[in-house]
Amino acid sequence: MYTRTLLSQSPEETHRLGIEVGKSLDAGDLVALTGELGSGKTCLIQGIAVGLDILNPKQVTSPTFTLINEYQGRVPIYHFDLYRINKLEELFDLGFEEYFYGNGVTLVEWAEKILDWLPPQRLSVYIKILSERQREIQLSTSQAKFERLFQSL
């Protein structure tokens, strides 16, 4: 298991971290984000999308009325926000495996809600609010491919 714990002092810093994470992602990867409302999951994902060369970064917002948004970067980007998910069936109805094990990068907010259904091969991100602008961001994974990213942060 590789783990890295960082301190972010601003949304910009979290966004920059996201860019570095995004650069290290390839088709088939999944990032599972956990952290309370307003902790910065979407902020980090906006950076990740930039790191994945998204054409229009402004389109990255938490899907409010749907569970998933899709963007085009150098690979397809599937952005799940499970805040409003009520039953696991809603996830099954989406055909989530097509996304999780597909040809794009999957980014999941509120990943803890579907822990049992997440692929074991994933990058997990836990964000903790320390103060108005301070966040503790912990990255962990069992995938050796992220070793270089972890060392560079």
Residue ranges that bind Mg ion, judged by CB under 5 A: 41-42, 62, 109
Q: In sequence order, what are the residues at sequence separation of 6 or more whose Cβ sits closer than 8 angstroms to the Cβ of residue 89?
A: none
Provide the 8-state DSSP code for 142: S
Cα angle value 6/11/16 (rounded, 5°) = 65
Under the binding rule (CB under 6 A), the answer on residue 43 touching ligand ADP is yes
Ramachandran angles phi, psi of 149, nearest 5°: -60, -45
Taking the complex as a whole, the smallest distance from the CB of residue 48 to ligand ADP amounts, in Å, to 12
Q: What's the first-to-final CA gap in the chain, in angstroms? A: 16
Which one of the spans 33-41, 51-59, 66-74, 85-93 is the region binding ligand ADP (CB under 6 A)? Answer: 33-41
Partner whose binding site includes residue 76, from Mg ion, ligand ADP, none (CB under 5 to 8 Å by kind):
none
Which one of the spans 41-49, 65-73, 85-93, 99-107 is the region binding ligand ADP (CB under 6 A)? Answer: 41-49
Under the binding rule (CB under 6 A), the answer on residue 133 touching ligand ADP is yes
Task: Give the C-alpha separation, 142 to 86, whole Å.
Answer: 29
Q: Nearer to ligand ADP by C-beta: 24 or 62?
A: 62
